[in-house]
Structure formats: C-alpha cells, structure tokens
C-alpha cells in the first residue's frame, strides 16, 4: 500500500513502507546497546578488542537481515468485513480484525516517523493487547489517513446493518398479536425497572446521531493551558535530576564552584527551590505545548476524531457510543480561573491512556458542550456528599505524614526543622476541600462521582459499562457507618476504576443495589 492513491475493497496484498526496515534495525541496535556497553567495559587486551570488532558487525548485519525479512513477509489485506494481517518469518501468524468489533483507530507520528514522512496506525479492539491488536508500523501519512477513513466508514456501515437487523426483529416482535388476557402482565413487565432500563439503552443505541462538529484549539489557548498546568512530578524529577547530574557528572572542583556561586546568589535553600520550581514549570509549559499543539476535534455524530501534537502527532478515532466515562479535571489554578480539562475513557487496549476531549474549556460552556459531544451522558448536580463524621478520614494521613516529617526534620536540622510544620498550612485546606468535594449522584443509567486530590475530578460513568462494584470499610469506618466504593469499567485485564474515600454507609448501599439490579437484568436477558 505504498503507491496506490486510495484504499478500496480488494484482495490485494499491501505492504509496509520500506522505511520499516530501518525502524526495525534501529530497534535491534537499541536492544544491543546495553550489551555493547557491558562488553566494552570488560575488554582488557587487544585480542579481546579485535574479537569484539569482528563479532559486532556480524550482529548488526544479522539484525539488518532479520529486519528485511520481517518487512518482506509482512502484508495486510482489506476485505469487506475485516482487515487481515499476515506476519512472521519462520512461524506465520494471521490476525483478523473485524470492522464491527473495532473500537478505535489511532494514527501516530513519532518524531522519527515525521522526519521520514510516514505514520503508524494502531487498530484496537476490546480486551486486546497493550500495543494494539493490529499495528501497521510504517505507512505513508496519506495512506494512514485514507485507511483510517476506510475503517471508519466500514465500521459505521457494519453497525448500521446490525442496527437495521435489530430494528427489523423488534418490529416483527411488536407486530405479533397480543391477547387481551396478557395485556396486564405485558404492561407490568414494561413498567418494571429492569425492563425500562434495558429499553432505554436499546432506544439510545438504535438512535443515529447526525450532528457534525469541527473545532480547532487556538494557539493562544494552548499557551494559556500550558501555563496553568503544573506537573508536580515533573517539577520534583527535574530538581532531583539536575542535582544528581551535577553531582555525578561534573568534576568536584567545578561542582563546588557552581555551588558556591549559587549560594552567593541565593543565600537560603528556599531560593534554590523557587528557581528550580520556576525552571521545571517552564519545562512543563514547553512539553505541554509540544504535546497538545495543533489540537483538532472532528465529530459526525457517530464517530469522533481527535488529533494533536507538534513533534509527535497523534490521532484517535473512535465511536462515540464506545465512550465508557467522562473525566472533568480542574487543577488548582484552573479552578480559580474557571477552566477545566475533559478526558474520555474509551474501550481500548491501552488502559493507561486517556483521550483528551478538550484540554482547556470554560466551565460555563462545559455542560452544553458535553451534551452536544457525548449525548449519552447527562449533566447532573451532586446529590450525596461525604458526611461530616467522615472528615477524620481525610485528615488522618496529613497528621501522620506531616508529623513524621516534622520529627525527622527536627532530629536532623534541630530547631530549624520546626518550619516543616508549615506544611499543615497547605495540606489541611486540601484535605478539607477533598472532604467537601467528595460525593456522587446515582440517577437512571449513570453514576456521577466527585472527588479531589490536588485537582478536583468529576467522573461520569454509565451503568452498562461497569464490570464490578466494590464496597469496603475499615473497622473504625464500620463502627461509624462509613464505607468506600470502587467502580471498575470494561476494558482490558487491568481495567479502569474510580473510587471514593469515605461516604455514608446507607448511600453506598443504594448504589450497590442499583448496580446489582443491572446485573439481574443482564442475566434475565
């Protein structure tokens, strides 16, 4: 599939771009780097060095031959109902990806791919592998976009055909004569909660969404979003990395000279920390802009396409009905400014990656925008909150951790260590905010959870996507009639889960009964 201009239904065998040979060979070299370093450090005489120089090219040549054979033996075929992938040098493997079961198609362009003018496409199915069920590692960008559109159109047509069959079966059932003596029992069954829940699900699934939408995030908003995003992990890693690099790499005299200059400019270690935080914040801003620059969203009402990235281009294509959950994240700065980030959990083979629906949206527009983009979810207000008697559960770790840190600081630094108590000024308000924000609403087919760590999260999840519901409590919580709940969604072996910290026992029991009612309905059907 290197030279043809459009993808069409054909038994033709398509091959990857020849650049895949280079990419595979680079992977072999990357795997050999640790061995090369170890062997180089172990060389003691000229004879060993000659042997090393003789055998290393052999390994590299073998890797190049293997890469070529792997590329030569790889091909894929487009059929009317599936994509067939054949690969393997000695042991052949055939993989069939049916359009009706494909959940998402991702087009990616890492930096090396962009330099070579090619792309990588990942076809994902529920319960698949973490690297994707079908991966075409090197095809031209035009071919990748065309193939993505082809799979999308075939998936939609297969779904419409299945929906048509379901409608035909339902119409045949409704056309059957029902005797008056059975009207009462039929009416009672229709009014039963389990039947009504499943009926509403079928009515939505058989409804075609036709709203078209295109949105491009302006560069000014990407810049503003990057500035208001603080990656605490990156800040800490950056500071420790700089210190470790300077201590291990630089000569001792140069390190001491730099340290003395820094101490002259910043007499206290607080100044060094502040400069480190600012530098890490600037680095986080640049990385955010590189990741989400060029953000674009397209939706035809049935399928959605999201692309972003300046250096590494990514494109996610999925059916809107496959969305498992919506996660609205409000960082500390964004909450003050009235902005939020919206992420989607889609049935995918990669449980660690959340598709960003909008990286930076005003909260005033959030409700109407979500209804337009993912209409199967309902915007609701919080009905249940964490009770006042549960506040101790949010403060216990602050008291314990801050107490241990203060004791260690006083033991090591003396009286200066008591300044660590200032951590309570930060952690206590955050813990109180976590207790205040925690809660949920359980209504119709949707469970909505509010929670907070540093950022505040609002999670919308539909009941039919939930695999398990767990409730638990410690002995102290049990005496105080408190419980935690955890919801696990469909997906791969690990799955995606959301949990709360401490809620009223009776409220958790209501959600428990609500989830069990859905399980009974599934068994009856």
Tell me what pLDDT residue 459 has.
94
Q: Which residues, including other chains, have CB under 8 Å from residue 352's CB and lie 6 or more apart?
A: none
Eight-state DSSP code of residue 178? -
Would the CA dihedral through 71, 72, 73, 78 be positive or negative?
positive
What is 30-48 written as a DSSP string?
HHHHHHHHHHHHH--SHHH
Options 2.30.29.30, 3.40.50.2000, 3.40.50.1820, 2.60.120.380; CATH for 2-210 is 2.30.29.30
Question: Residues 292, 425: contact at Cβ < 8 Å?
Answer: no
Question: Residues 504, 438: contact at Cβ < 8 Å?
Answer: no
* Rg, C-alpha atoms of the chain: 29
- Alpha carbon distance 425, 423 (integer Å): 5
Question: Residues 296, 131: contact at Cβ < 8 Å?
Answer: no
Residue 350 sits at φ, ψ, to 5 deg, of -110, 100
- Alpha carbon distance 208, 455 (integer Å): 36
Q: Could you tell me the CA-to-CA distances from 275 to 209, 238, 269 in Å, in that order? A: 51, 11, 10
Q: Give how far the C-alpha of residue 398 lies from the chain's centroid of Cα atoms, to the nearest Å.
A: 29
- Alpha carbon distance 97, 256 (integer Å): 61
pTM above 0.85, yes or no: no
- H or E stretch covering 485: strand 482-489
Q: What share of the chain is helix, strand, coil (3-state, %, to 5)?
A: 55, 25, 20
Q: Give how far the C-alpha of residue 245 lies from the chain's centroid of Cα atoms, to the nearest Å.
A: 31
**Is 177 strand, coil or helix?**
coil
Residue 293 sits at φ, ψ, to 5 deg, of -65, 145
Strand ranges inside 230-336, DSSP E: 296-299, 303-308, 313-319, 323-330
- Alpha carbon distance 224, 267 (integer Å): 33
User: Would you state the structure tokens that stand for residue 443, as one six-digit string?
Assistant: 């209504």
Eight-state DSSP code of residue 378? -
Nearest to 497 by CA among 451, 454, 456, 429: 451
> Could you list the mean pLDDT of each consecutive 10-residue stretch along the chain, which spans 525 residues?
45 88 89 73 62 76 91 91 89 88 85 89 72 82 88 77 64 54 38 42 46 84 85 61 60 68 64 71 85 90 87 86 89 89 76 78 90 90 92 88 88 84 88 93 92 92 87 90 88 69 92 74 49
Residue 180 sits at φ, ψ, to 5 deg, of -60, -30
User: Would you state the structure tokens that stand for residue 277, as one six-digit string?
Assistant: 């935080």
Q: Which residues, including other chains, have CB under 8 Å from residue 477's CB and lie 6 or more apart?
A: 393, 483, 484, 502
User: Would you state the structure tokens that stand for residue 468, as one six-digit string?
Assistant: 């398990």
Q: Give how far the C-alpha of residue 483 lies from the chain's centroid of Cα atoms, to the nearest Å.
A: 28
pLDDT, one tens digit per residue, over 352-409 is 467 899 999 999 999 988 888 999 999 999 999 999 999 988 988 888 888 898 898 8
Residue spans per domain, the chain: 2-210, 219-292, 323-386+438-524, 388-434
Tell me what pLDDT residue 456 has.
93
Nearest to 483 by CA among 406, 389, 399, 420: 389
What is 239-262 written as a DSSP string?
HHHHHHHHHHHS-HHHHHHHHHHH
CA angle, corner 415, sides to 412 and 418, nearest 5?
A: 90
- Alpha carbon distance 260, 242 (integer Å): 16
pLDDT, one tens digit per residue, over 235-278 is 566 566 666 655 556 566 666 676 677 667 665 666 666 776 77
Tell me what pLDDT residue 442 has.
92
Burial class (CB in 10 A: 0-12, 13-18, 19+), 184: exposed
**For 492, left (φ over 0), alpha (ψ -120 to 50), or beta?**
beta
Q: Which residues, including other chains, have CB under 8 Å from residue 304's CB and lie 6 or more apart?
A: 297, 298, 317, 318, 319, 320, 373
Tell me what pLDDT residue 201 has.
44
Tell me what pLDDT residue 191 has.
38
User: Would you state the structure tokens that stand for residue 246, as one six-digit string?
Assistant: 């300077």
Q: Which residues, including other chains, have CB under 8 Å from residue 438's CB and lie 6 or more apart?
A: 385, 386, 450, 451, 452, 500, 501, 502, 503
Burial class (CB in 10 A: 0-12, 13-18, 19+), 154: buried
- H or E stretch covering 223: helix 219-227
Q: Which residues, including other chains, have CB under 8 Å from residue 165's CB and lie 6 or more apart?
A: none
- H or E stretch covering 516: helix 505-524
Eight-state DSSP code of residue 521? H
**Is 105 strand, coil or helix?**
strand
Q: Give how far the C-alpha of residue 467 lies from the chain's centroid of Cα atoms, to the nearest Å.
A: 18
Tell me what pLDDT residue 165 has.
65
The residue with tokens 């949990």 is 499
């Amino acid at each position: 599939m290197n030279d043809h201009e459009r993808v069409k239904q054909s038994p033709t065998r398509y091959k990857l771009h020849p650049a895949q040979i280079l990419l595979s060979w680079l992977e072999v070299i990357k795997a050999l780097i640790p061995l090369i370093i170890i062997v180089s450090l172990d060389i003691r005489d000229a004879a060993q060095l000659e042997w090393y120089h003789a055998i290393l090219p052999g390994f590299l040549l073998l890797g190049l031959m293997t890469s070529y054979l792997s590329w030569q033996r790889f091909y894929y075929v487009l059929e009317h109902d599936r994509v067939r992938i054949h690969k393997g040098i000695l042991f052949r493997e055939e993989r069939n990806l049916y359009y009706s079961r494909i959940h998402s198609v991702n087009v990616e362009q890492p930096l090396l791919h962009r330099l070579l003018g090619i792309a990588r496409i990942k076809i994902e199915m529920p319960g698949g592998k973490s690297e994707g069920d079908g991966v075409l590692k090197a095809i031209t960008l035009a071919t990748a976009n065309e193939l993505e559109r082809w799979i999308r159109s075939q998936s939609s047509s297969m779904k419409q055909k299945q929906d048509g069959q379901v409608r035909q079966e339902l119409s045949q059932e409704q056309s059957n004569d029902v005797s008056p003596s059975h009207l009462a029992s039929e009416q009672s069954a229709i009014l039963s909660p389990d039947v009504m829940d499943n009926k509403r699900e079928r009515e939505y699934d058989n409804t075609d969404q036709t709203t078209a939408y295109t949105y491009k995030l302006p560069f000014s908003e990407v810049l503003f979003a990057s500035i208001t995003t603080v990656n605490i992990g990156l800040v800490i890693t950056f500071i420790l990395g700089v210190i470790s690099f300077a201590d291990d790499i630089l000569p001792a005299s140069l390190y001491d000279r730099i340290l003395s200059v820094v101490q002259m400019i910043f007499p206290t270690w607080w100044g060094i920390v502040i400069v480190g935080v600012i530098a890490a914040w600037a680095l986080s801003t640049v990385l955010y802009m590189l990741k989400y620059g060029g953000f674009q969203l397209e939706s035809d009402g049935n399928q959605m396409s999201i692309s972003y990235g300046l250096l590494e281009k990514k494109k996610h294509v999925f059916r809107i009905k496959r969305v498992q959950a919506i996660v609205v994240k409000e960082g500390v700065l964004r909450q003050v400014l009235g902005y939020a980030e919206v992420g989607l959990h889609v049935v995918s083979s990669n449980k660690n990656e959340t598709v960003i629906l909008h990286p930076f949206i005003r909260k005033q527009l959030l409700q109407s925008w979500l209804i337009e983009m993912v209409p199967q979810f309902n915007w609701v207000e919080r009905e249940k909150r964490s009770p006042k008697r549960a506040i101790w559960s949010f403060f216990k770790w602050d008291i314990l951790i801050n107490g241990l840190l203060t004791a260690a600081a006083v033991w090591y630094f003396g009286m200066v260590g008591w300044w660590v108590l200032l951590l309570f000024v930060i952690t206590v308000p955050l813990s109180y905010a976590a207790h205040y924000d925690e809660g949920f609403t359980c209504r119709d087919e949707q469970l909505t959870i509010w929670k907070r760590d540093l950022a505040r999260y609002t999670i919308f999840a539909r009941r039919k996507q939930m695999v398990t519901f767990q409730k638990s409590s410690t002995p102290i919580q049990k005496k105080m009639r408190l419980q935690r709940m955890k919801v696990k969604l469909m997906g791969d072996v690990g799955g995606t889960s959301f949990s709360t910290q401490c809620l009223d026992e009776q409220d958790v029991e209501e959600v428990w009964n609500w989830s069990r009612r859905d399980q009974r309905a599934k068994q009856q059907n």
